[in-house]
Structure 1
Amino acid sequence: MEEEFKKRNRLLLYLEGFFIMLGGGMVQIGTTLTYILTYLIPKQPVVVGLMHSISALFIILPKFFTSRLILSKEKDSPIMARIELIKGLLWIILGIVIYKVDNKNIAAILMLFILAIIFMTIGANTTIRTDIIGKVVSNKSRGRFLGNKEFISRMGGIIAVVIGGFILGAFPKPLNFAVLFWFVGFIQMFSYFVLINIREKGIIREKKQQSMKKFMSSAMKILSKDKNLIYLIVQDNFKILGITITGMYVIYLKDKINIDVTDMMIFSGCIMLGIGIFSPIVGKISDKKGCKYVLKISYILYIIGYISMFFVVSKWLVYLNYFIIGVANTSDIVTKDNIAIMLGKENNRSLYESMRSAFILPMSVIAPILIGLLITLFGFEVVLVFEIVFMSLAIFTLNNKVNLEEDSEFECNNNVTVY
């Protein structure tokens, strides 16, 4: 990539993150979307769990197809830009559904259906974004770049929750939900104009797109040789079981203390603030001490957050809970792309990102429904104990079995052409 485009591309990726969160910060699945779904179908933790399962399933589903596609394409950003346009349009359609469909059960079903497609666009663009970052940012400064990008993104998210709170308070239900979705849609579509201006180095890793059978064979070949990746996936599965309850916290709070729709934006803002403040710090630490170090700190923070949930007596403690969740979430956000790029290198980074996502898919789908069912049967506090155990297992596996400083790449794709 020419030197003159490096700063430009970094700036555009910062802006892309800002606009994605300026829209997405208003519709966080663990707060706003959960609240809207419980407005349509009250007191149904299993239905909320279903939404989280749909999120996990449909974010991961397109990853292998997207990874396979971009291996045969010279440029990633035009594909990503078109997908953002589609995602924005879907949010606008969802707003129309919420406003116009009077039957709440039907509205809830349509909401879940449209969200499933939106989650697919998110999953596809997550894979593409990882590949773009691998092209644009050097190894030595990638952690710092990802931390700074996340900081800028979450500042957009904090602005989003202020705007979102105003929208939700200014209009009656369900018009306020509809206006919120419409605003999100227009903001997300604006990302198109940012993405089409990114200048990538042209890379074609496969001159002809592989058949899906051959592509999957390559993936399994990597997995059979790379034990480090296997242990990484094992600890990922423990982590998913351990963090699922954070998306159910709102259900518990509705019964425990008096919260309303505007509180959802404050909760989202606390998460954004935690991520935003600590992202640059985590990025710098990961460059110096490695991804594994910051992930262990993250998992310990989740456990601290869960312990504090036992003592909820006021909204101020809830704000602290969500802030801690945000800080804990920072390490995973900042390191996820870096781990895929580091382990997969130029040839296989999108494939590594897709494999890591694919092999946590069953747990990602099952865990929200399972945790929702357990909460229904035993109560939130009992399930919190289970979650602490799962996070402890994730820490043990990460600490004793995973080596993220090891060069664990197994080449399966030698047909790389750089322009």
Structure 2
Amino acid sequence: MEASTTVLVIGGGATGTGIVRDLALRGIDVMLAERSGLSSGASSRSHGLLHSGARYAESDRIGAEECIEENRVLRSIAGSCIRDTGGLFIQLPEDDPDYFDKKQAACESIGIETRVLDGNAARNLVPGLSSRVERAMWVPDGVVYPSRLSAANAADAEDHGGTVYPHAPLTGLVVEDGRITRATLGGTVDATVRPQYVINATGAWAGQVAAMAGVDVEMAPSRGVMISVVYDALGPALNRCRDPDDGDIIVPHESEVVLGTTSVPVSDPDTYEEADWEVEKSVQECAKMLPPVAEATEVRTWWGVRPLYAPDEQKSARRGISRGFFVLDHADDGVENFLSIVGGKLTTYRQMAEAVADRICTKLDVDAECQTATRALPGANDPDRLDTFVTHYDAQGPTDADIVTNGAVA
């Protein structure tokens, strides 16, 4: 099959589907290709935390500002793609109280709402919380169901003229005279596509896709484990109030909680070790905040790979790499019609998509405003409809497998 499109988006996670939706709503002919079902990469292999920005407030102000802005947007447009739980940052006796104070001050300076609770008040709010908790800070964290989010974005894109192929792996790019002239897609599509512009939204795989066009994108992927256990008594998400480390996040679902996570460098986002020590340490550390999870029944365990971008960083220092995002225009690398979007977080996917769509509109001389910050996702308040989208686009993943099952609410 031969096809042409104004914009070809490679990668069907939250960011890629956000881009195809944004461009379709602006009236641009756009096509998306994903290799293994929507959100099958990092998006649906995360812990699913809807960040308030508090986790990064004292260390990465820009990233924190992006998170709180998009946290508020998603609460208004995403409906049952998210769950409003709130979150607590937990201080144990071995945790530096100055770090807690600095985090609170940073949150306040950014505009992230906080409320400090003493240990007893925190335990009243969270039954089962450790007796060792000295104080806690409430922040507006929440939960994201990524398979619903990606599928709803894709559905809206197709409703507005876009095309989404959830099983169409990119097999090659042809560059001629400084432009990508052809992209070959396999899988269920088996097509040669002639695009005006190509957007690389493949997360941890961005370096591999860029290499197909002869471009170097320096990714520093890092794996992390998540463990879902049976536990239905947790209300808010829990974060350990210390420098980010292994086993410092607990994310509530309905009858389960997700424990995580680790950060271990990987050279290939498709092939890496899944080490038992990561599971054991994550459970052990999370149980310091919420002891009952140590004995809770394990439901499933999975690893995800963070799409960290580090052109000038020490690749071994994964925890210190910015979680902000970057739009790379490869005209600077000799390929005029090729962009990559790297870094970022699930929470900021829509803002990332808007930044890319703005850049494309400038290149195409299209005068159309972004609508995605105010326009609700289709089916936002209809979980059954959202899960029909999930089934249609084969968008399920382990993060929300307990919530979304075979197109119906679990």
TM-score, normalising length: structure 1: 0.24
- Structure with bigger RCO (C-alpha 8 Å, 6+ apart): 1
Q: Which structure has more strand as a fraction of its residues?
A: 2
TM-score, normalising length: structure 2: 0.24
Q: Which structure has more helix as a fraction of its residues?
A: 1
